[in-house]
A and B are shown apart, each in its own frame.
Chain A
Amino acid sequence: NAGVTQTPKFQVLKTGQSMTLQCAQDMNHNSMYWYRQDPGMGLRLIYYSASEGTTDKGEVPNGYNVSRLNKREFSLRLESAAPSQTSVYFCASSEAPVGNTEAFFGQGTRLTVV
């Protein structure tokens, strides 16, 4: 019953530090996504991977990189964290691109950059 699993759940970084957010899904989905959620801004797409081996930029990709490690795993990396990257990050997956199928979300990673 795991669905989409994100690690860590909470993280505090100092400005300039780097870290990788991990995401794994056990539903054999082809497409995976990273969103950030900010008060007043709602959810915005950072990067997505329509299928294994492909990644594309979303609405707010600056300052982030991603890796689709295999079909199950999609990681998000912050190379040099900035206070503007303080947010809640959600990973999601779907069987096909979301235009056709239902999306499922993880529990989120709450990141604070000081």
Chain B
Amino acid sequence: KQEVTQIPAALSVPEGENLVLNCSFTDSAIYNLQWFRQDPGKGLTSLLLIQSSQREQTSGRLNASLDKSSGRSTLYIAASQPGDSATYLCAVPNYGGSQGNLIFGKGTKLSVKP
């Protein structure tokens, strides 16, 4: 059964720092991996989708990498800002269970201090 783990569960950094969020998955037979952002009391906003054939995907100050063989993905945030404070979730499709089911990690809660 696919399991997704995100470490650390919480992270606090000063404004301007570059940071890396980690996501690991147990079954490397994935077609893609998606990163989301969730603000308190809000829904999930899609940040980046990396296909299994890709190794990196970039959007603005965000860069996500994928290493299927090691079961890992990282989300790099450059020059962090207080507005980046949110919970970041990664998710992979689960083919062993319901079709179309996304398996989510429990998230990393990021706090960027001014």
Report how far A43 CA is from B98 CA in the complex, Å: 14
A84 CB within 8 Å of chain B: no
Query: Cβ of B100: which chain A residues have Cβ within 8 Å of it?
Result: 31, 33, 48, 50, 94, 97-99
Report yes or no: A99 in contact with B93, Cβ–Cβ below 8 A: yes
Report yes or no: B43 in contact with A108, Cβ–Cβ below 8 A: yes
B28 CB within 8 Å of chain A: no
Report how far A48 CA is from B41 CA in the complex, Å: 23
Report yes or no: B99 in contact with A97, Cβ–Cβ below 8 A: yes
CB of A30 to closest CB in B, whole Å: 10
- Tier of interface size on chain A: 20 to 34
A82 CB within 8 Å of chain B: no
Report yes or no: A106 in contact with B43, Cβ–Cβ below 8 A: yes
Report yes or no: A102 in contact with B98, Cβ–Cβ below 8 A: no
Report how far A99 CA is from B32 CA in the complex, Å: 7
B81 CB within 8 Å of chain A: no
Q: Tell me which residues from 64 to 104 in chain B have a Cβ below 8 Å from any Cβ of chain A.
A: 89, 91, 93, 95, 97-102, 104
A90 CB within 8 Å of chain B: yes
CB of A105 to closest CB in B, whole Å: 4
Query: Cβ of B97: which chain A residues have Cβ within 8 Å of it?
Result: 59
**Nearest B-chain residue to A57, judged by Cβ:** B98
Q: Tell me which residues from 9 to 30 in chain B have a Cβ below 8 Å from any Cβ of chain A.
A: none
24 sampled A-B residue pairs with Cβ under 8 A = A4-B43, A31-B100, A42-B106, A43-B89, A45-B101, A48-B99, A58-B98, A59-B97, A59-B98, A90-B43, A90-B44, A92-B44, A97-B93, A97-B100, A98-B100, A99-B93, A102-B34, A103-B34, A104-B46, A105-B45, A105-B46, A106-B43, A108-B42, A110-B41
